[in-house]
Structure 1
């Protein structure tokens, strides 16, 4: 049995990233797909590509293959040692026995018995379409309440002849309540078209990002807000109205609060199994002394409350 160098088949280096491998497969699969290719060896090359990609796209299979094959060259006689796959878990994917005829004896000896996304079907070829990825920007209010909206996206699309172009598509997207930045929304079947008659399409994954907000900032499920307070509210304490994504709430400002003091409104962040909080940072704002009465009030305050905010800056003797 001959050893197969899957990296050579894919035309990538052994340290290629997963994105590099995906791009290489996408390019070569379009080139050698038997339905569109005029290459004499298109059928055989397409089979090899499917087999190589089956291994290299899967981190577990790739790690095991790398460990096994670092000292082998393409075409050399090969036999895997007993228990070579000990310590690896290939249960996340493989191929069914009905589809096994597409892959080589080399693949069978390593990964036989698992299901694959690639199959032969009555003499034709079928390959699941690629998964597509895009970014979806939503408001914090939409993340808080959840929503359903139509979005227009420019997504790659393959023609019947294998060429690729950008195509604008309008899709209805349900945004779940409490979704966080960086989470993905899966739209099943909205990815790239499959190869071959009856082949299933891939999925579309939308990574969520938040639009800038004029009041709030978000980290994880927590919401942050700066709230201005008057000097007497900070000094004497007060109950003030504070905006949240769920509406205004009353919040107590403790007496003696300083600028930068943080207060927590529990479960007023993004909802979820463990709802986030809203963190309120107090900012003391000084009223301008633009009238005679205001200047006299400040003068009386200075005489009644001796206070030197720079006392801690004095050099110790």
Structure 2
């Protein structure tokens, strides 16, 4: 996990939301594994995605600015209590840890059995990881940082929480709290998620759109065929039922492919002749349709 999310995105600490979004888009296009074959690109993409997920949310960004890289280990109720009490902001250097027992122990009194607080951390996944699920090794930073092997269910959605019983805050003689990993699905250059539905753009040639065709489409679950009806125009959405995100407890989402007609950027001589012939015989005028 990045020690400095601002440095990961290459922005200053007073960067605006627009600056953060612009920096993320630039880096995501550069390092996404689909466009960059460098073995280190995937790790860099995950790093900038995690930084974006934290800094693009005003509340999460405020907690990060207040508590530093260990902000996920501080229960929200404790952070709120300290903020309400007027506690000063504590800044942590890259190599400085935090002893939560020393910092917050006074809030609970010197004795008694106090159960550990539930804690929450974010788990940033790609669309492909969320689709297929599986095992993921998760590290949480800070002094004495903890590591977990987490089972991610197939079809996990943005905002869903994965509970790790007894892995939360330490207790004062009582049971430990739980750790909740809140899933954040990173933006993807190809797929757009709407709940369990997946939206993609479907590039088509003019003849495929005019005559109809069966064309391959890459999805997070593999390649599928889309039947393009004759006379398809740009903007038409083609629905593939059940090809969206899986749902272990119910109906899977759908996949929507939106047609985008593309023409040859530099048509060859014969292609130009055929287009000229079509222009001469066709009465079709899209501006009057």
* Aligned partner of 2:260 among 259, 265, 283: 283
Deviation, structure 1 residue 290: 3.8
Residue pair 2:108, 2:114 contacting (<8 A) in 1 also: no
Residue pair 2:215, 2:225 contacting (<8 A) in 1 also: yes
Question: Which residue number in structure 2 is paired with residue 23 of structure 1?
Answer: 80
Question: Which residue number in structure 1 is paired with residue 97 of structure 2?
Answer: none
* Aligned partner of 2:116 among 122, 129, 134: 129
Residue pair 1:245, 1:268 contacting (<8 A) in 2 also: no
* Cα distance in 2 for residues equivalent to 1:245 and 1:193: 39
Question: Which residue number in structure 1 is paired with residue 141 of structure 2?
Answer: 154
Return closer, same or farther for 1:241/1:30 CA change in 2, 3 Å cut-off.
same
Gap regions ≥5 residues in structure 2: 1-74, 86-102
Deviations 1:59-101 (A, max 9, x none): xxxxxxxxxxxxxxxxxxxxxxxxxxxxxxxxxxxxxxxxxxx
What SS does the corresponding residue of 1:135 show, helix, strand or coil?
strand
* Cα distance in 2 for residues equivalent to 1:250 and 1:29: 57
Q: What is the alpha-carbon root mean square deviation over aligned residues?
A: 2.5
Return closer, same or farther for 1:150/1:208 CA change in 2, 3 Å cut-off.
same
Gap regions ≥5 residues in structure 1: 1-17, 36-123, 156-165, 313-317
Deviation, structure 1 residue 172: 1.2
With structure 2 as the length reference, what TM-score do the two structures score?
0.62
Alignment of 1:28-67 (within 5 A): 30-31=105-106, 33-35=108-110
* Cα distance in 1 for residues equivalent to 2:191 and 2:245: 12
Residue pair 1:222, 1:278 contacting (<8 A) in 2 also: yes
Question: Which residue number in structure 1 is paired with residue 284 of structure 2?
Answer: 307
Deviation, structure 1 residue 29: 6.3
Deviations 1:241-284 (A, max 9, x none): 11222211122100000001001111111111121000111100
Deviations 1:111-139 (A, max 9, x none): xxxxxxxxxxxxx5101111111110112
What SS does the corresponding residue of 2:225 show, helix, strand or coil?
strand
Deviation, structure 1 residue 221: 0.4
* Cα distance in 2 for residues equivalent to 1:283 and 1:173: 39
Alignment of 1:82-161 (within 5 A): 125-154=112-141
Deviation, structure 1 residue 19: 5.2
Structure that is richer in helix per residue:
2
* Cα distance in 1 for residues equivalent to 2:104 and 2:227: 64
Question: Which residue number in structure 1 is paired with residue 157 of structure 2?
Answer: 180
Residue pair 1:236, 1:256 contacting (<8 A) in 2 also: yes
Question: Which residue number in structure 1 is paired with residue 243 of structure 2?
Answer: 268
Deviation, structure 1 residue 191: 0.8
